[in-house]
């Protein structure tokens, strides 16, 4: 079967709906979300409701957690903190309650899924380098651990050499970000995995980034949060 893994939507409805157009075209059997459904973008309710209506199983991300428990936003920079405050005021009670029920980690199809890292997932550590990945491999036993959080796609193999996903080896796969890429590429990013052929496909696509940016400006959120979408920064 095929399943899709998405992450870091960050209230970007334009990117999310475009991603699901592609997901539907590929006829995947299931979609799993690694968290950070909200934060930064102007459509938090619409994004949460969309995933719920589509039956997407989701994890909690650090931005999701921060709107549920504002004390957790203490480590955010000023602009991210302002977006969290706005989002917390904007979310419906029902969607806020939904976010509070999401887990830090789950195992599905014999794979591990986590927002940040399998090592103490509630501490929101980043996996950015081979050194980070080597440590993270010690904290899960499945063939693949799927992560987001950094907004930067990439594949790490336990042997630190293999770059293509294949059977018999262990991998950490970062699927990138749907709603706020940070690899100098403004296109949305996610992954599709075929369990029969053991094949991973990393998907990137343009979307209506100008509209997503304008919504951020119209909502009175910091302009930088919209401008950065144009550059994938």
Question: Residue 202: enclosing H or E segment and its boundaries?
Answer: strand 199-205
Looking at the structure of the chain, the number of domains it has is 1
**Total residue length of the chain:** 233
DSSP code string of 19-66: HHHHHHHHT-SEEEE-S--SSSSS-HHHHHHHHHHTT-EE---HHHHH
> What number is the average pLDDT over the span 7-29?
97
Kindly tell me if the per-residue pLDDT of 54 is higher than 80: yes
Is 179:18 a contact under the CB 8 Å cutoff? no
> What number is the average pLDDT over the span 35-59?
98
Taking only the tens place, the pLDDT of each residue in 149-165 is 999 999 999 999 998 99
Eight-class DSSP state of 5 = E
Q: Mapping DSSP to helix (H, G, I), strand (E, B) and coil, where does residue 198 land?
A: coil
> What number is the average pLDDT over the span 105-120?
96
Is 133:144 a contact under the CB 8 Å cutoff? no
Which residues lie below 8 Å from residue 119, measured CB to CB, with a gap of 6+? 125, 135, 136, 138, 139
- The domain that holds 105 is classified in CATH as 3.60.21.10
> What pLDDT, on the 0 to 100 scale, is given for residue 75?
83
Is 72:85 a contact under the CB 8 Å cutoff? no
Closest listed residue to residue 10, CA positions, set 42, 34, 32: 42
Taking only the tens place, the pLDDT of each residue in 73-99 is 778 999 999 999 999 999 999 999 999
Domain that holds residue 192: 2-230
Which residues lie below 8 Å from residue 166, measured CB to CB, with a gap of 6+? 198
Residue where the block lists tokens 């969607």 = 95
Is 181:189 a contact under the CB 8 Å cutoff? yes
> What pLDDT, on the 0 to 100 scale, is given for residue 72?
80
Confidence of residue 113 (pLDDT cuts 50, 70, 90): very high
């Amino acid at each position: 079967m095929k399943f899709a893994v998405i992450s870091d939507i960050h209230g970007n409805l334009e990117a999310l709906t475009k991603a699901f157009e592609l997901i539907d075209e590929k006829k995947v059997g299931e979609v799993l979300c690694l968290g950070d459904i909200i934060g930064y973008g102007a459509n938090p309710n619409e994004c949460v409701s969309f995933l719920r209506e589509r039956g997407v199983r989701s994890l909690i991300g650090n931005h999701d957690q921060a709107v549920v428990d504002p004390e957790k936003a203490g480590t955010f920079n000023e602009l991210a903190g302002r977006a969290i405050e706005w989002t917390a005021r904007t979310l419906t009670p029902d969607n806020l309650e939904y976010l509070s029920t999401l887990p830090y980690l789950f195992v599905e199809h014999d794979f591990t899924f986590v927002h940040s890292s399998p090592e103490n997932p509630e501490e929101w550590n980043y996996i950015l380098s081979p050194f980070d990945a080597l440590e993270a491999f010690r904290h899960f036993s499945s063939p693949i651990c799927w992560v987001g959080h950094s907004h930067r796609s990439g594949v790490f193999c336990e042997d630190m050499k293999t770059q293509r996903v294949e059977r018999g080896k262990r991998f950490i796969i970062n699927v990138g970000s749907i709603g706020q890429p940070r690899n100098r590429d403004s296109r949305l990013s996610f992954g599709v995995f075929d369990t029969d052929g053991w094949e991973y496909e990393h998907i990137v696509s343009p979307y209506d980034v100008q509209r997503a940016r304008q919504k951020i400006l119209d909502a009175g959120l910091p302009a930088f949060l919209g401008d950065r979408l144009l550059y994938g920064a």
